[in-house]
Structure 1
Amino acid sequence: MQRIILLTIGWLAIVLGTLGILLPLLPTTPFMLLAAWCFARSSPRFHHWLLWCSPFGRYIRHWQQYRAVPPGTKGRAILLVILTFSFSIWFVHLFWLRIALGVMLALLVLFMLRMPVVTETTDDHKPR
């Protein structure tokens, strides 16, 4: 029963994380890390797929090994967050909501700026 629950949560996290690519207030990374955690405890097959075959695998492996992001990722992520939040702020007409989005943007950018950046070693590309 626990395996089925973890698989369900893992796949739900994959779906929500994938939606987070398009929706600015839905975070992709925490959902993918949750999916990796659930799959590691319930399905070696899905865990292997997530780490080595999915588009998110490189980033998840890097985070699990170094607790850091690969070079270049931080800048692109910050730029994308600023663009998507700016788009939302531009089209929202409620002043208090613009302020709330601006505060969330500032906090998110500060968090992302504090994340460490570590380069990969060559043997990180081999499945274990």
Structure 2
Amino acid sequence: MVNLMRILLVIIGTISLILGIVGIFLPLLPTTPFLLLSAALYFKSSPKLYDWLLGQKHLGPYIRNFREKKAIPLRAKIISITLMWGSMLYCVAYLVPIIWIKFLLIAIAIGVTYHILSYRTLKK
């Protein structure tokens, strides 16, 4: 039973990691929560995978900084907000014909922007 639970946690952690990586490129898919979930699940199920994740060149420092300092690097803030607003404005202007959905997308973009900016900016 314990091995089955560990396998399940590794599988969910891996799915979360994939979603986190995809979230880097898709503005509405959150990256940080998925990466933090992956780290937590790997910590519980596989120290080897946990060490591997934190040792990754790009993801490891991002996870450690957020977990330890509750801060996001300025570059990550700028990129994520710019990509999100670009995608949202494109959708509102060209793809979505229904006015209330346009307002909903703008409201989501404002909320996500506020959420991202609410975290401290990591100083290098």
Distance 1:15 1:54, change over 3 A: farther
Matched, 1:4 2:7: yes
Structure 1 length-normalised TM: 0.82
Q: What RMSD in Å do the two structures reach over aligned CA positions?
A: 1.7
Partner of 2:82: 79
1:33 aligns with one of 29, 33, 36: 36
**By how many angstroms is 1:39 displaced?**
0.6
Amino acid at match of 1:96: W
Partner of 2:71: 68
**By how many angstroms is 1:87 displaced?**
2.3
Q: Supply the distance in 2 between the matched residues of 1:71 and 1:25 (Cα, whole angstroms).
A: 19
2:110 aligns with one of 97, 106, 110: 106
Q: Report the more deviating stretch, 100-109 or 77-86.
A: 77-86
Unpaired segments ≥5 residues, structure 2? none
Partner of 1:49: 52
1:118 aligns with one of 102, 119, 122: 122
1:24 aligns with one of 24, 27, 44: 27
More helix by share: 2
Unpaired segments ≥5 residues, structure 1? 121-128
More strand by share: 2
Structure 2 length-normalised TM: 0.84
Quote the sequence identity (%). Answer: 33
